[in-house]
Amino acid sequence: MKTKFTTFYRHIIKEERKHPEATGQLSDLLADIALACKIISLEVNRAGLVDVLGFTGEKNVQGEMVKKLDVFANEILVNSLTAGGHVCAVCSEEEEHFIPLKDVYANRLLQNRYVVHFDPLDGSSNIDANISIGTIFSIYKRFSESGPGNEADCLQQGIKQVAAGYVVYGSSTILVYTAGRGVHGFTLDPSVGEFLLFHEDMKIPKKSSTYSINEGNYCKWDKGMQKYIDFIKQPDKGSGRPYSSRYVGSLVADFHRNLLYGGIFIYPSDEKNKNGKLRLMYEANPLAFIVEQAGGRATNGNQRILELQPESLHQRVPLFIGSEDDVKLAEKFVNG
């Protein structure tokens, strides 16, 4: 049995010590998120055993049917972050408005300095089918000085993120995060209840032969998008074509596979959805931060995701993300 390992908490503390000015709040905050995700993981694993599957019958702010596990995951994250006291606002894909939080500390050094955005259960249409789903999170420093956070605190460009990550609830539970110094991956050991480091400083291959897209939407795309997909399916040994298609329908799962083996994930605009389907604040920004830290690229087809100025919490954005050369090639087609 292995006797040497690094837990997630040990890793973030090690990173924190590189910053003598750090108060320890970001480490605590990340630990709060990890704890919430361990509880979500437990519930996801036993979802088939208890009566938590199925629709609640309510619609969420995106107009989609909400499932019970989404509601649970949302509540556990909100409660964990509220109790932690490090956050002045939380923004969730499942909540119409941001939730402002009071400062629970009198000590100024320990002020509620952060804002957290999350998609509590991404890929929720896959829950009932026992297919991988996940949680995505993103952390910013507040702009405002004190008190509960305001809208400007919540609508910051992705380049302002101080940390981001995701958890995949799959054959095992994996946590991947960046705090701006590389991307690190951990696996949950359920017997000890800890995330253990399995991959430090993850890098995405520069070029791949894999694409992830909902090709059923082909007839709704513009010509450039259609030509790109036609192109990567044509055989050409030298450039690795035809590409393989891999699409789970859970962004976290598709993204995680592409991060490990290389690949491009695209959710483009189409004639019905001019800004695609995915959300800038909850999905695109955190994954863009991670992919760039891993040496990859993320754009909306012509602009860097991380530089887009958000206008509303739930705004959608076309997403081209993954191996650098593949994203650049796709951009040429959609802009040509």
Q: In the complex, which residues of this chain contact Mg ion (CB under 5 A)?
A: 119, 122
Asked if 299 touches ligand AHM (CB under 6 A), the answer is no
Distance of CA 43 to the CA centre of its chain: 20
How far is residue 69's CA from residue 53's CA, in Å, rounded to a whole number?
A: 7
- Residue 146's binding partner out of ligand AHM, Mg ion, none, with CB under 5 to 8 Å set by partner kind: none
DSSP letters along 142-206, please?
-SS-SSS--HHHHS--GGGEEEEEEEEESSSEEEEEESSS-EEEEEEETTTTEEEEEESS----S
Asked if 277 touches ligand AHM (CB under 6 A), the answer is yes
Q: Where are the beta strands (DSSP E) in the chain?
A: 55-59, 65-67, 87-92, 99-100, 114-122, 133-141, 161-169, 173-178, 183-189, 194-199, 210-212, 244-245, 264-267, 297-299, 319-322
How big is the site for ligand AHM, counted in residues (CB under 6 A)?
Answer: 11
How far is residue 241's CA from residue 263's CA, in Å, rounded to a whole number?
A: 13
Kindly tell me which residue out of 74, 112, 124, 299 binds ligand AHM, with binding defined by CB under 6 A.
124
Burial label, 266 (beta-carbon count in 10 A; 0-12, 13-18, 19+) = buried
**Beta strand pairing status for 244-245 and 210-212?**
parallel
How far is residue 247's CA from residue 157's CA, in Å, rounded to a whole number?
A: 28
Asked if 312 touches ligand AHM (CB under 6 A), the answer is no
Kindly tell me which residue out of 214, 234, 244, 303 binds ligand AHM, with binding defined by CB under 6 A.
214
Asked if 250 touches ligand AHM (CB under 6 A), the answer is yes
Asked if 270 touches ligand AHM (CB under 6 A), the answer is no
Q: Which is nearer to Mg ion, 11 or 277 (CB)?
A: 277
Return the range that interacts with ligand AHM (CB under 6 A); candidates 117-125, 146-154, 294-302, 326-334.
117-125
Return the range that interacts with ligand AHM (CB under 6 A); candidates 195-203, 229-237, 248-256, 322-330.
248-256
- Residue 184's binding partner out of ligand AHM, Mg ion, none, with CB under 5 to 8 Å set by partner kind: none
Kindly tell me which residue out of 84, 123, 149, 158 binds ligand AHM, with binding defined by CB under 6 A.
123
Return the range that interacts with ligand AHM (CB under 6 A); candidates 5-13, 118-126, 227-235, 294-302.
118-126
The sign of the CA dihedral 284, 287, 293, 297 is: negative
Q: Name the minimum Å distance from CB 304 to ligand AHM.
A: 20
Q: Which residues sit at the interface with ligand AHM, rule CB under 6 A?
A: 64, 93, 119, 122-124, 214, 249-251, 277
